[in-house]
Structure 1
């Protein structure tokens, strides 16, 4: 009796867990197994035009560091992580975010 109850709880937990995972979960894993950036842009962007900045370290999926900026208008660009202007903008964004908290 106790064994059946434990089995039912386990089945219920697995069903509940399967509904919590997003439908695109497998799709996002497949997308992350390769480099996202084919080419990079070195054009500077002012910090007020940047909505978000994503840095992906190198690893088994990609041999290089990737920096992807999303602008306020929704356009995404891959940036050259070695660009000098980028470190300045990142410092300003970090400073701005730390002042908001």
Structure 2
């Protein structure tokens, strides 16, 4: 009886591990049909993602998420978009440096400072 229960539990466990190991494909086709014209300022961005060509889509795609929640596709060949990508990468790397700096400051032990010693009064019997 115990061996049967153990066998069934192991089968269920192996089945669950197999489900978690499946690949998730972004899309079966390109996400960007049209690209936006005009300039986007890096301060209006929440996120900027670049997707390399893949078997499902043979072109590079850049998807910008704006602060108002709208996602828009950008032309990866545009000079303005290339400049925007550089500014975004710079901004992201600065944020990472700031986070690293905060983590190292938290890990440092506070220095013990000497308390100023004033005149001591002695009690006489």
- TM-score range with shorter-chain normalisation? 0.7 to 0.9
> Normalising to structure 1: TM-score of the pair?
0.74
Alignment of 1:19-98 (within 5 A): 29=25, 32-98=27-93
Does the 8 Å CA contact 1:42/1:83 hold for their aligned counterparts? Answer: no
Q: C-alpha deviations, 1:43-90, integer Å up to 9, x for none?
A: 110001111111111121112111111100011111100011112111
TM-score (norm 2): 0.62
Higher helix share: 1
In 1, the alpha carbon distance for the partners of 2:42 and 2:70 equals: 14
Secondary structure of the 1:69 match is strand
For structure 1, the residue ranges without an aligned partner over 5 or more in a row are: none
Gaps of 5+ in 2: 97-125
Pairwise CA RMSD of aligned residues? 3.1
Q: Secondary structure at the match of 1:90?
A: helix
Higher-Rg member (1/2): 2
Q: Which has the higher contact order (CA 8 A, sep 6+)?
A: 1
